[in-house]
Chain A
Amino acid sequence: MTPLSGEKSGRRVAIDVGGTFIDYVLLDENTGEIRVDKQPVASEVLTDAVLTGLERIAGDIGTIDQLLHGMTVALNALVEGRGVPVGLLTTKGFRDVLEIGRGGRKQVYDLFYREPPPLVERHLRREIEERIDARGEILITLDPGKLDVELDYLVANGVKAVAICFLHAYRNPLHEQMVRAHIEAHYPELAVTASHEIASEWREYERTSTAVLNSHIQPPVASYLSGLTQELERKGYKKPFAIMRSNGGVCSPQGASEKPVYTLMSGPSGGVIGARKLCGDLGFDNVICADVGGTTFDVALIEHGEVVEVTGMEVARRPILASSIDIKSVGAGGGSIARIDHRGSIAVGPQSAGARPGPACFGFGGDEPTVTDCQLVLGYFDPEKLLGAQISLDIDRARDVIRRKLAEPLQMDVEQAAAGVLSIVEANMSHAIRYMTVERGLDPRDFVLLSYGGGGGLFAARLAEELDIKTIIVPRFASNFSAWGLMMSDYMEDATQVLVRNFIADEFSAIQSTLNELADRTGFVIGEYGFSPEEIDFLYRADMRYAGQDYTISIPLDRQWFDDQRLFMEKVRERFTDAHRRLYGHGDLHAPMELVVIRCRAIGRLSKPDMTVWRGGERELQRPRTRDIFHTGRKAFTRSSIYERDDLAAGIHLDGPAVIEEWSTSILAPSGWRAAVDESGNILMTYLDK
């Protein structure tokens, strides 16, 4: 397994499965060549589609040195209800935790608001006589002899996977371990998830939900990955096959099969990890990552060079305890549908025409005006060239649907209505970005905007203007950027331990041994990938709060503090107080504190490809074609220059109004913006202050 961390590999391939297309990037480090491709998703036979595209771009699969995979299999299994029937074992008196949830009414004016129904029906939630208290002490000992009656009931009722969640198992997992051992010995056909293995954190509803979800999607994910791995082996690929997780790190297919719940946000993670690498190389510390796809607009933040993460999230309205890149999704993409709302105004999204029937201009039968239709009408792209001409766009259809559904009822002309739709989408996107920064006490003006995905380049300049951001980066191969980003990831393993202790010197040895124990546990997993102990990096964090508070702040811990009690206590206090002051405007270095959770991440670093040099294009700008384009911020059609991205050599710059077209996407530079091509072929746009 040494090629992982050691010398440069030759041919790397990243495969990113999205909603509509599978994106590929091939990088040949010996020649510096980089190639991209797209393969339509055919959901019935995903493995075939993945392999078809792979063979097209890479030829002989056996010659690939490194293969990375961002996947939506886990997410789709959940969203499309293709998981297996699950049985749940809980502490006696608590079988309804899964059904009751947290009980808040998230839409306050919706009298019919309710949470999605539990994934496990009530009679399949079986109670076990056992109890552990908040300190981890056993009050009622579990009797394995009483398990069979419950398990037999579950099996008889068609259950294929079992989730176990006992109270306070994050503190003492013994009973969960006993049940797992019993099931493995006596019911080997059942897939098992014990809550402490998947989410060793307090809050029983979220932990139960996470364990149940994991059980639910485990069989389909495992079957997809084992099928794909076997096919790859059969075709001669013997090297490690790395799967992207929601936290931006990769793991083995086996790791992903055991804990598929960690891969739910696998798809969009690649772009953010790529953004960290690209922007780091370019010298930008604070980055807003904006990925505009067909149905959603996904935003993530990089602050001081670090990806902003969360330790819990919701997927398909169900909570999951797992570290993940904080990616906020807004229902605003190329396929988003515009309609007239109850006020007689225009509303856009979250309904989307998706890929089928798709925007009206695709000619697949879509009969609702979408964002893409509006962009076409306003001259944003060449009807003949989108997606490398795999689809030619019907501008008359687009005009017609906008006229019928929006312009005529609102007594506007078609262009006005189309521009209105785009302005509203731009406003929604900028609100989402601003909200995310305000949430953390940050100011968007301190960030650069990295815009990618098929629609990224079309919105970037207007979003930046709305947010008063002066610098935009549109990476090379913007529409395949998430796939490229997969190559910038590392093997990562996370573990947590809830402690809830007063932060006092007496607790230091317990804290110290927890830190060591977590490092051993995560380091072992990374070691299994072939990394030697000295090659493994560890990151530690503590979730701290002032005594009496409910919420915590997660702060990073430095390894060199761990051997010195006084230093450790002092530094942690300082760092927590600083963080508290930064977020909340006040903090007291000497107030009593509590340490609530310890987190550890082991990292096995993969070698990263160097930035490839862009040698193509022309050194001199040719006299461009022109086209009339309606820039929403300027409220008028403007004669704009049209460039081919491939014609622009490194070092060239040009001023808006202009459109830079490339395979499968375009970049819009309104007047006032200058676009410059850097030596790797990325386009940096800057706002020219007058």
Chain B
Amino acid sequence: MSQFEQVDIITAEIIRSSIVAASDEMAKTLVRTAYNPVLYDIKDFGVAVLSATGELWSEAPGCLIFGRTLPCTVSSGLRHHASDGFEEGDILIVNDPYETGTHLADTTIYLPIFHQGRLIAFAATTAHWIDLGGMTSGGVCTISRDIYQEGLSLRHQKLYAAGRKNTDLIELIKLNVRIPEVAMGDMSAQIAACKQGALRVKALCDKYSPETVKAAMAQVIDRTDQAMRKMIRALDDGEYAASIKLDIDPEFNVEQPELCLQITIAGEEISFSFEGTTAANAGPLNLPRYGAEAEISAAIKSLLLPDDAANEGHNRALNFIIPDGLLVSPQRPTPVDCYMFVAECLFELVVRALSGVLGERCPAGGYQLCGVGLMRTDPKYGEPFVLMEPLVGGNGATPHDDGSTMMFIGNGDVPNLPTEVLENRYPLRVECYELQPDAAGWGKYRGGCGLRKDYRILEDGVLLLFGTDNSVDPIGRGLFGGKNGEPNEFICRPNTDREMVLRQRVSNYGPFFKDELISIRSGGGGGWGPCTERDPARIIRDVVNGYLDAQQAEDIFGVRMV
């Protein structure tokens, strides 16, 4: 308790909320000054304020995973440069997935915060850059065979050293990316965000003294850790496990990759191990170790202490046992650009495994990322364009209600693209945008419906990218007797003699020509509880509202409509 006595609890709370506000201001600055729609529309970013030793003080979540990968990234920078290797005015850049935990596109920029010559903290941001060279643009290469094919790697280089711009490095980056002005714009936005965070931390140090700020945050972290441990102590000790199979890509592997997670609750700590998990893929379907740890941490925080921003205290009671070389611990130069499919599986596995002990604190499983890319790259067909959108789909049913249709968990607050905006911008017409109840898993509570979105192609030469996984073993699993949701599915040219149903990842598929139709069905969420327990009043509303037809009501629930 010695640390607690240095700062009273009120001061500690005010400093904590000020650091949270500082990270919110960083996020706002990043969104306001970014060039790239992936940042201001899709919010594929993370920001954090960290201690001088790389412990998380606060974050403003964009994508869930970054709340925990950022402290890992800054810690790896501290190992690289040593704690006395930073100077006031330094700004560093890193995107090497083996240092950051995700993929090359997620570029971290961070700076050390000094107060009166002493290192106090770090301000850090990760943002998805639209291009970093490599064999394909956009940051989701599905065919890379090593990390070098995925683009330019940077590892804790200094963009600015003691305030001096490293022009050579910046020129090198510009030379290796396809759209240098956007990369430079995003870099400036990230620097501006970090500087905003630094400004606030310095002001707090001026006001309270750096010792008080550090002691306050140490207290906040300790108290958060104690709150976590209290939650864990209340759970039954034991080992809880779950596993899931990902899709075979015949280009890269012969057996179905499998992710097996064991969770051991012992006293006030939780351990995570991966016995039985397949070795790393030869292709890009791999999740670097830091990313795996981060995804688990985010899932545990969501289950045990979902309120307010994360700090280091949410993570201290967690232990990870991950041998090298697995699907969740690939070694350089293994490619990793499709890490997000593994990450989403891992989140769902944590929830699923712990449903055995947490029961009603767990929703059923939700759909896997359903990414649509429609693009024209060959100018012989007309002006090039690229539309990339992650579709909403069915989330898991909850212990008290039917599931909803919205973004999958890992993607956070990503809004969809309105049809009216889409049709103004691309040579496409949306002919249907509706709920797909048949994709949902039924139960006492129904999983979220999938989405059906039909794109009519209005001009020739359009290629399709379909980002998905888990076609055989869907992650939208039912809980406590609820049924599974269906996986994502693309139907190309439905009801024609050239109809083709896709359930696995493809890129550069096509080309499609004028008037052809692509119908996309995102997956559904799993049901919660057995169908026999569904309230008949709900079943009647389901039929009235077209979530079920009368025949299904009878077949699934034995309810006959009269």
Asked whether A441 is an interface residue with its Cβ less than 8 Å from the other chain, the reply is: yes
Q: Which chain A residues border B451 with CB–CB below 8 Å? A: 100
How distant is the Cα of A522 from the Cα of B296 in the complex, in angstroms? 56
How distant is the Cα of A107 from the Cα of B416 in the complex, in angstroms? 16
For residue A124, which residue of chain B has the nearest CB? B545
A202's partner among B14, B306, B407, B418 (CB-CB below 8 A) is B418
- Which stretch from B317-325, B373-381, B430-438 is at the chain A interface? B430-438
Asked whether B298 is an interface residue with its Cβ less than 8 Å from the other chain, the reply is: yes
Asked whether A122 is an interface residue with its Cβ less than 8 Å from the other chain, the reply is: yes
Interface centre among A103, A122, A168, A438 (most CB of B within 10 A): A103
Asked whether B175 is an interface residue with its Cβ less than 8 Å from the other chain, the reply is: no
Cβ–Cβ contact B17 & A111, under 8 A: no
How distant is the Cα of A280 from the Cα of B378 in the complex, in angstroms? 58
Cβ–Cβ contact A345 & B64, under 8 A: no
For residue B458, which residue of chain A has the nearest CB? A133
Q: Which chain A residues border B419 with CB–CB below 8 Å? A: 94, 97, 167, 204
Contact with A along B401-437 (1 / 0, CB 8 A): 1001111010111111011110110000111111100
For residue B361, which residue of chain A has the nearest CB? A111
A500's partner among B10, B16, B32, B424 (CB-CB below 8 A) is B424
A551's partner among B40, B401, B544 (CB-CB below 8 A) is B40
Interface centre among B37, B61, B418, B420 (most CB of A within 10 A): B420
Q: What's the minimum C-beta distance from A575 to chain B, rounded to whole angstroms?
A: 19
For residue A410, which residue of chain B has the nearest CB? B9
Asked whether A19 is an interface residue with its Cβ less than 8 Å from the other chain, the reply is: no
For residue A421, which residue of chain B has the nearest CB? B10
How distant is the Cα of A112 from the Cα of B400 in the complex, in angstroms? 10
Cβ–Cβ contact A114 & B302, under 8 A: no
Q: What's the minimum C-beta distance from B301 to chain A, rounded to whole angstroms?
A: 6
Q: What's the minimum C-beta distance from B156 to chain A, rounded to whole angstroms?
A: 26
Q: Which chain B residues border A345 with CB–CB below 8 Å? A: 9-10, 12-13, 16, 220, 223
For residue B310, which residue of chain A has the nearest CB? A109
Cβ–Cβ contact B25 & A438, under 8 A: yes
Cβ–Cβ contact B544 & A434, under 8 A: no
- Which stretch from A258-266, A424-432, A649-657 is at the chain B interface? A424-432
B545's partner among A107, A111, A123 (CB-CB below 8 A) is A123
Q: Which chain A residues border B302 with CB–CB below 8 Å? A: 109-111
Q: Which chain B residues border A583 with CB–CB below 8 Å? A: 32
For residue A420, which residue of chain B has the nearest CB? B10
Are A108 and B28 also in contact (CB < 8 A) when A203-B421, A435-B21 are?
no
Cβ–Cβ contact B17 & A428, under 8 A: yes
For residue B230, which residue of chain A has the nearest CB? A342
Cβ–Cβ contact A104 & B432, under 8 A: no
Q: Which residues of B in the span 445-460 have a Cβ within 8 Å of any Cβ on A?
A: 451, 454
Asked whether B153 is an interface residue with its Cβ less than 8 Å from the other chain, the reply is: no
Asked whether B75 is an interface residue with its Cβ less than 8 Å from the other chain, the reply is: no
A103's partner among B305, B398, B405, B431 (CB-CB below 8 A) is B405
Q: Which chain A residues border B424 with CB–CB below 8 Å? A: 134, 202, 500
Contact with A along B276-310 (1 / 0, CB 8 A): 00000000000000000000001001110111001
How distant is the Cα of A114 from the Cα of B409 in the complex, in angstroms? 12
Cβ–Cβ contact A106 & B33, under 8 A: no
Q: Which chain A residues border B351 with CB–CB below 8 Å? A: 111
Cβ–Cβ contact B21 & A168, under 8 A: no
B434's partner among A96, A110, A347, A416 (CB-CB below 8 A) is A96
Asked whether A146 is an interface residue with its Cβ less than 8 Å from the other chain, the reply is: no
Asked whether A423 is an interface residue with its Cβ less than 8 Å from the other chain, the reply is: yes
For residue B544, which residue of chain A has the nearest CB? A123
Are A114 and B434 also in contact (CB < 8 A) when A100-B451, A122-B545, A134-B423 are?
no
B416's partner among A100, A170, A344, A438 (CB-CB below 8 A) is A100
Q: Which residues of B in the span 475-497 have a Cβ within 8 Å of any Cβ on A?
A: none
Asked whether A346 is an interface residue with its Cβ less than 8 Å from the other chain, the reply is: yes
Cβ–Cβ contact A424 & B10, under 8 A: yes
Q: Which chain B residues border A205 with CB–CB below 8 Å? A: 418
How distant is the Cα of A345 from the Cα of B223 in the complex, in angstroms? 9
Q: What's the minimum C-beta distance from B330 to chain A, rounded to whole angstroms?
A: 26
Q: What's the minimum C-beta distance from B347 to chain A, rounded to whole angstroms?
A: 10
Asked whether A121 is an interface residue with its Cβ less than 8 Å from the other chain, the reply is: yes
Q: Which residues of B in the span 1-53 have a Cβ within 8 Å of any Cβ on A?
A: 9-10, 12-14, 16-18, 21, 24-25, 28-29, 32-33, 37, 40-41
Q: Which chain A residues border B432 with CB–CB below 8 Å? A: 93-94
How distant is the Cα of A168 from the Cα of B423 in the complex, in angstroms? 9
How distant is the Cα of A205 from the Cα of B302 in the complex, in angstroms? 29
Q: Which chain B residues border A551 with CB–CB below 8 Å? A: 40
Cβ–Cβ contact B420 & A105, under 8 A: no
Cβ–Cβ contact B546 & A123, under 8 A: yes
Q: What's the minimum C-beta distance from A509 to chain B, rounded to whole angstroms?
A: 21
Please classify the interface of chain A as helix (H, G, I), strand (E, B), loop, or mixed, using the class held by over half of its residues: loop
How distant is the Cα of A97 from the Cα of B417 in the complex, in angstroms? 12
Asked whether B224 is an interface residue with its Cβ less than 8 Å from the other chain, the reply is: yes
Are A550 and B404 also in contact (CB < 8 A) when A95-B434, A110-B306 are?
no
Using a Cβ cutoff of 8 Å, how many contacts connect chains A and B?
Answer: 182
How distant is the Cα of A96 from the Cα of B431 in the complex, in angstroms? 13
Asked whether B114 is an interface residue with its Cβ less than 8 Å from the other chain, the reply is: no
Cβ–Cβ contact B9 & A346, under 8 A: yes
Asked whether A343 is an interface residue with its Cβ less than 8 Å from the other chain, the reply is: yes
Asked whether A102 is an interface residue with its Cβ less than 8 Å from the other chain, the reply is: yes
How distant is the Cα of A99 from the Cα of B192 in the complex, in angstroms? 38
For residue A439, which residue of chain B has the nearest CB? B28
Q: What's the minimum C-beta distance from A89 to chain B, rounded to whole angstroms?
A: 15
Asked whether B227 is an interface residue with its Cβ less than 8 Å from the other chain, the reply is: yes
B406's partner among A114, A202, A416, A428 (CB-CB below 8 A) is A114
Cβ–Cβ contact A102 & B416, under 8 A: yes
Asked whether A520 is an interface residue with its Cβ less than 8 Å from the other chain, the reply is: no
Q: Which chain B residues border A420 with CB–CB below 8 Å? A: 9-10, 13
Contact with B along A526-569 (1 / 0, CB 8 A): 00000000000000000000000111000000000000000000
Are A202 and B421 also in contact (CB < 8 A) when A115-B406, A428-B17 are?
yes
Q: Which chain B residues border A145 with CB–CB below 8 Å? A: none
How distant is the Cα of A273 from the Cα of B58 in the complex, in angstroms? 37
Q: Which chain A residues border B32 with CB–CB below 8 Å? A: 439, 441, 583-584
A104's partner among B13, B305, B407 (CB-CB below 8 A) is B407
Q: What's the minimum C-beta distance from B541 to chain A, rounded to whole angstroms?
A: 8
How distant is the Cα of A484 from the Cα of B301 in the complex, in angstroms? 48
Cβ–Cβ contact B418 & A109, under 8 A: no
Contact with A along B215-251 (1 / 0, CB 8 A): 0000010011011000000000000000000000000
For residue B188, which residue of chain A has the nearest CB? A585
For residue B26, which residue of chain A has the nearest CB? A438
Interface centre among A109, A410, A420 (most CB of B within 10 A): A109
Asked whether B464 is an interface residue with its Cβ less than 8 Å from the other chain, the reply is: no
Interface centre among A202, A342, A416, A500 (most CB of B within 10 A): A342
Q: Which chain A residues border B305 with CB–CB below 8 Å? A: 342
For residue A632, which residue of chain B has the nearest CB? B10
Q: What's the minimum C-beta distance from B546 to chain A, rounded to whole angstroms?
A: 6
Asked whether B196 is an interface residue with its Cβ less than 8 Å from the other chain, the reply is: yes
Cβ–Cβ contact A203 & B61, under 8 A: no
Q: Which chain B residues border A416 with CB–CB below 8 Å? A: 10
Asked whether B270 is an interface residue with its Cβ less than 8 Å from the other chain, the reply is: no
How distant is the Cα of A99 from the Cα of B303 in the complex, in angstroms? 26
Cβ–Cβ contact B224 & A343, under 8 A: yes
B37's partner among A410, A441, A550 (CB-CB below 8 A) is A550
Q: What's the minimum C-beta distance from B408 to chain A, rounded to whole angstroms?
A: 9
Q: Which chain B residues border A107 with CB–CB below 8 Å? A: 306
12 examples of A-B residue contacts, CB within 8 angstroms:
A93-B430, A94-B419, A99-B435, A103-B392, A105-B407, A105-B414, A108-B61, A202-B418, A205-B418, A345-B16, A419-B10, A439-B32
Other than the given A123-B546, A431-B24, 8 more pairs (CB < 8 A) read: A94-B433, A102-B418, A103-B405, A107-B306, A110-B306, A204-B418, A204-B420, A427-B18
Q: Which residues of chain B have a CB within 8 Å of any CB of chain A?
A: 9-10, 12-14, 16-18, 21, 24-25, 28-29, 32-33, 37, 40-41, 61, 63-64, 185, 188, 192, 196, 220, 223-224, 226-227, 298, 301-303, 305-307, 310, 351, 362-363, 392, 398, 401, 404-407, 409, 411-416, 418-421, 423-424, 429-435, 451, 454, 541, 544-547
